[in-house]
Structure 1
Amino acid sequence: MHTTLAPVVRVSRGDTSPHGTDASVAGRPLDVLGVPGEINLDYAATAPCARVAADAVAELLPWYGSVHRGAGALSRRSTLAYERARAEVGDFLGVRPDDHVVFTRNTTDALNLLARALPPGTRVVTFAGEHHANLLPWPAGTVRLPVPTSPGGAVRALDAALRELRRGPDGGAPVLVAVTGASNVTGEIWPVAELTAVAHRHAARLALDAAQLAPHAEVNLDALDVDYVAISGHKLYAPFGAGVLAGRADWLDAAPPYLAGGGATLAVGAATHDVRWATGPARHEAGTPNLLGAVALAAVCSALTRSDRAAWYAHEQALLARLRDGLAALPDVVELRTFAADGPRVGIVSFVVAGRDSAEVAAALAEEWRIGVRDGLFCAHPLARRLLTEAAARAGRDDLPPTAIRASIGLGSTAQHVDRLLTALATLTGARLTPWSG
């Protein structure tokens, strides 16, 4: 059983925008900015800026001022915009009444904040298939489970690991499970609801890295019953340097402030340690906050919330099928995957070209075809290296390169973009491309 996911924005075939999409929000197009002639297939690294995000920033800039405690009109307007952004992002994420929404720089920053907020003695369980942001922040003694071969295998492995932890000498200690919602390497969707149910059955909490999931599918804390979620604005069409950690308040209110400084305090005395710290999000948002980043992110979240997500999801899945089928038809191209080939995924595909260095292929795509993709191990080195080894064994080849290429799609992607990538790869490999018939 897989987690049911609601998709993202409506696409109209009759759009006349430069990118060929019209994801309307109350009659206003939710399109993305870009450069004519340049094909961006690197959404999983940094998604392009949505026009609504740019418009929100432009509208606020004349009023830009200090946030909180300022008496002037600029400060009052900026404070209202900042706190309204917090509420709008919270609505987008389906937070519960007692959850906190803390603005951070990105998902990495959000997960590091959560790692600093863990109660003493907390044990963390994660998988070796995580992005480095969900591998590296956790304390010594973290249990890193092997990469599973199926969603069901992930659920069973977590159940066994938590059962073993509860039997141990520290069986009563707090436990946090940290998992991804969708792989940044393969796009494969993880069984979030089922993993959360297992965690709660063993009195553990679950933190969801939704950096890759949230741009494509609904992420609702209340519906999924997850305890924490982390997202990045730059993955979510708001590349202005804001991220979010949202979730249970108790650990966050009990933890030392993530940053010590102004805005996180209620009172500071003359003695060195005479400080009363704030509770709530302010406790972990010391210093002048990224007002424009928060407002841009909220603008996109609100636009996506009001959009018809089902049609966009169908459009993206059609593009994804077109891309994967086209890659499969190229004899020297091998796709990376963790689970079964027909498993649910978002618009991310990683692959290798046998006998060709991935960096050289990516450079050729950029220079000769004006197509932007990503090459390397995608900040998920343990997973990517394992998948490269498995891909070589599955394909029966010994000439696969040690790094991969990743193509990722989203708002603004079209069938023409996918076809141009396939044509370029066919040309580079000397293959004959069969027209797609899906």
Structure 2
Amino acid sequence: MVSVLSPAEVKLPDGSSTDFANLDVAATAPCLDVVAEAVADLLPWYGSVHRGAGALAQRSTREYEQARETLYEHLGCGPGDAVVFTRNTTDALNLLAHVLPPGTTVVTFDVEHHANLLPWRTPVRIGTPRSPGEAVATLDEALRQVSGPVLVAVTAASNVTGELWPVRELAEVAHRHGARIAVDAAQLAPHAPVDMAALGADYVALSGHKVYAPFGAGVLAGRADWLDAAPPYLAGGGATAGVSADFAVRWHDGPARHEAGTPNLIGAVALATACRVLAGADLSAEAHLVARLRAGIARLPHVEELRLFDAAAPRVGIVSFAVLGRDPDELSTELGRDHAIGVRTGLFCAHPLTRRLLREAAGRLDPSAEPPGAAIRASLGIGTSEEHVDRLLAVLSAPLFGE
């Protein structure tokens, strides 16, 4: 059974103790126990990667490249694809923005996480779709209006609502118009397999700290031609195949071209270990917990779930909501201090989308109400229990609103 590292107990103000209800997994997931074990096993052998002939360097290089191969297979890469280690999803998407051929138009939706909204030099931003079908149709129409090299950049699962996007259908539209598609898989990867072939993706980006491997590594995987044709993301040792006496530089092709400096060996091994373990894990209980949380929120008269699509749209373990009558920051502090419940408060690095959904949610509760300035997000994962969900719902109900 897959499990995570967590504190045994958390002290409460009344002197009692309880287990911590970590409902902030979407921000930074805890560490899998098997990931911690893999890191501990490797640390005595930690050494230079791709540099040195000693036992430590040889073992470290082998582990680093085996981690790359694991991710290549786990992500469904094929001939002509590369796996480049990065710091996180944001870094991976900025790397992709760096290697775009000159004149490339990037088409995104205006509801993306900032990591997939801000790096692009010449973006065409599509308005907010209210259904998966509308997303596909509006992308089709947008691509009719552009020419030249085109990259479509979309999320697989919203970090605000948890809703799954129709990536396969969007990829089919993109390819029909001769465009490539990059998928921000940061929030999909902890909950479901990320297979480039099944998604129809040309590129995928994800973060280790979202998949229970919080050691500072991410990955960009996908077609190697743009990566090999572009100048290095970082200039320095490791990216260079040779430097002449007059400082003319010959750069490596392949992943090394964009992995200058000493690589994050521990992060790469942790990420590969987590992905391999998650591929065989039974995560079916999550759907029940999400349904339980959403049903409980629906019964609360001053709480409204944020959503973009129909209420029945499939989703991962993320539920964000608006609360009327309470300051969201104060409420989140109270949840943590008095009830050992960790949630996230804010706009979740998707400010345009979250503000829009807060206005809509407040309007459904009370058309005359001023929308709160921030949402609260409960995100579930490995280690979440029914008791954690019920504890949150209990705090959100009568004790807060006098019912």
Output the CA distance in 1 between the equivalents of 2:293 and 2:92.
32
CA distance in 2, matches of 1:390, 1:196: 29
Matches within 5 A, 1:92-241: 92-139=74-121, 141-165=122-146, 171=147, 173-241=148-216
Which residue identity is paired with 2:339? W
Runs of 4+ aligned residues of structure 1 deviating over 2 Å after TM superposition are 392-397, 427-432
Query: Distance between the aligned counterparts of 1:338 and 1:60, measured in 2?
Result: 44
Counterpart of 2:337 in 1: which secondary structure? helix
Q: 1:296 aligns with which of 260, 270, 289?
A: 270
* Equivalent residue runs for 1:250-261 within 5 Å: 250-261=225-236
> What is aligned with 2:294?
324
Distance apart, 1:39 and its partner CA = 1.2
Instruction: Name the amino acid aligned to 1:196.
Output: A
1:425 paired to 2:387: no
Conservation of the 8 A alpha-carbon contact between 1:355 and 1:399: no
In structure 2, give the amino acid aligned to 1:329.
Answer: R
- Residue 327 (structure 1) shift: 0.7
Equivalent in the alignment of 1:436: none
Shift of 1:399: 3.9
Matched, 1:400 2:371: yes
Indicate how the Cα distance of structure 1 residues 382 and 198 shifts in structure 2: closer, same or farther if over 3 A, else same.
same
Quote the Cα distance in structure 2 between the aligned partners of 1:214 and 1:108: 15
Once residues 244 and 207 of structure 1 are traced to their aligned partners in structure 2, the CA distance between those partners, rounded to angstroms, is 13
Report if the CA contact (8 A) 1:331-1:431 is conserved.
Answer: no
Q: Classify the secondary structure of the residue corresponding to 2:4.
A: coil
- Report the CA distance between 1:218 and its aligned residue: 1.2
Of stretches 227-236 and 88-97 in structure 1, the one that deviates more from structure 2 is 88-97
Say whether the 8 Å CA contact 1:34–1:48 is kept in structure 2.
yes
CA distance in 2, matches of 1:199, 1:294: 31
Which amino acid in the other structure matches residue 401 of structure 2?
Answer: G
> How far is the alpha carbon of 1:392 from its aligned partner?
2.2
Normalised to the residue count of structure 1, the TM-score between the two structures is 0.88
The letter for the 1-side match of 2:391 is: R
For residue 270 of structure 1, report the CA deviation from its aligned partner.
Answer: 1.8
Deviations 1:406-438 (A, max 9, x none): 000011111011011111111442365xxxxxx
Runs of 5+ consecutive residues of structure 2 not aligned to the other structure = 9-18
1:389 positional shift: 1.4
Superposed CA deviations along residues 107-136 of structure 1, whole A, max 9, x for unmatched, are: 000000000000000000001110000001
Between the aligned partners of 2:217 and 2:278, the Cα distance in structure 1 is: 17
Q: Is the 8 A contact 2:302 2:365 kept in 1?
A: no
TM-score (norm 2): 0.96
> Distance in 2 between the 1:287 and 1:428 partners?
54
Alignment-derived partner of residue 332 in structure 2: 362
CA distance in 1, matches of 2:245, 2:117: 40
Shift of 1:70: 1.2
**Pairing 1:278–2:260 present:** no
Cα deviations by residue, 1:372-396 (Å, 9 ceiling, x for unpaired): 0000000000100111111122333
Give the deviation of 1:302 after TM superposition: 1.2
> Offset of 1:147 from its aligned partner?
1.3
Q: Which amino acid aligns with 1:121?
A: G
Distance 1:418 1:102 in 2: 37
Q: Deviations over 1:157-210 (max 9, x none)?
A: 100000111xxxxx2x11000000000000000000000000000000000000
* Uncovered stretches (5+) of structure 1, i.e. residues with no partner: 1-23, 25-29, 166-170, 433-438
Q: Is the 8 A contact 2:108 2:123 kept in 1?
A: yes
Q: Distance in 1 between matches of 2:399 and 2:300?
A: 11
Distance in 1 (CA, whole Å) between partners of 2:37 and 2:306 is 38
Matches within 5 A, 1:70-85: 70-85=52-67
Q: What is aligned with 1:411? A: 382
Secondary structure, in 3 states, of the residue corresponding to 2:204? strand
Give per-residue Cα distances to partners, 1:294-321, cap 9 Å, x unaligned. Answer: 00111111112233x4xx23x1000000
Partner of residue 41 from structure 2, selected from 28, 53, 59? 59
The amino acid of 2:137's aligned partner reads R
Give the whole-Å Cα distance in 1 for the aligned partners of 2:54 and 2:299.
63
Give the Cα separation in 2 of the matches to 1:267 and 1:340: 56
CA distance in 1, matches of 2:280, 2:292: 28
Distance 1:135 1:341 in 2: 25
- Per the alignment, in what secondary structure is the counterpart of residue 406 of structure 1? strand
Q: Distance in 2 between matches of 1:62 and 1:164?
A: 56
Contact 1:107 1:211 in 2 (8 A): yes
Q: Do the aligned residues in 2 keep the contact of 1:94 with 1:220 (CA within 8 Å)?
A: yes
1:16 match: none
